[in-house]
Amino acid sequence: MFGITPLGWLHTLGSLPAIPAAIYMLARHGRIVPRSPAGQLYFICMVIGALTVFLVAKAPVSPIVAAVTLIVLFAGYGVGRIPFLGRAAVYLETFLLTLTVFLLMVPTVSETLRRVPDGNPIASDPNSPILKAALASLAAMLVLGLAAQFIHLIRTGGEKERADTVN
């Protein structure tokens, strides 16, 4: 179905839970909260998704995107533990982890539009106007989402510790 191999299904189903986990955290906390149960699920699913890209992707850019995603993901989960960054850590963490959501959604939207419905996809090729519009919308959501997150952090004084302990 959809021209996906068994390994492709492992990649898809392994990374898929990251999307609702991200949506939940963004809606509930205004950002990805790494040291929460949803944050841990997000991390595991993102690692599974990014690592399996190396085994399933056909586009030459895919391994590069996967490597960048892993670097940004690990940086985002680690930056909050660097004491000398102080309050800047929560802003950097928020930026990096929001960028991972964007890096997750770009191929998700692209692959979905190029495969669904099965046999007659919405976007027939990578240059499809609807695909370009969808990706442009994701880029706009990244910029607006980061602005909203930073405004929220400024208003709450970057209350990282309180948010990190919330489930």
pLDDT band (50, 70, 90) for residue 158:
confident
Cα separation of the two ends of the chain: 36
Q: Evaluate whether residue 23 is within a structural domain.
A: yes
Tokens matching residue 159: 């209350």
* Tens digits of residue pLDDT in 32-69: 999 999 999 999 999 999 999 999 988 899 999 999 99
Q: Evaluate whether residue 133 is within a structural domain.
A: yes
Residues 6+ apart with CB under 8 A from 34: 40, 43, 76, 77, 80, 93, 97, 164
Q: What is the CA radius of gyration of the chain?
A: 17
**Residue pair 34/93 in contact by the 8 Å Cβ criterion:** yes
Residues 6+ apart with CB under 8 A from 122: 113, 114, 116, 128, 130
Q: Evaluate whether residue 141 is within a structural domain.
A: yes
pTM over 0.75: yes
Q: Evaluate whether residue 75 is within a structural domain.
A: yes
* Tens digits of residue pLDDT in 107-141: 999 999 998 998 899 998 889 999 999 999 999 99
Domain total for the chain? 1
Compare 167 and 151 and report the one with higher pLDDT: 151
Q: ∠60-65-69 over CA atoms, to 5°?
A: 160
Residue-number span of the structural domain to which 22 is assigned: 6-164
Q: Evaluate whether residue 151 is within a structural domain.
A: yes
User: What does the alpha-carbon distance between residue 75 and residue 85 come to, in Å, rounded to a whole number?
Assistant: 13
| pLDDT beyond 70 at 165 | no
Q: Evaluate whether residue 1 is within a structural domain.
A: no
* Tens digits of residue pLDDT in 88-100: 999 999 999 999 9
Q: Evaluate whether residue 55 is within a structural domain.
A: yes
Compare 87 and 145 and report the one with higher pLDDT: 145
| pLDDT beyond 90 at 104 | yes
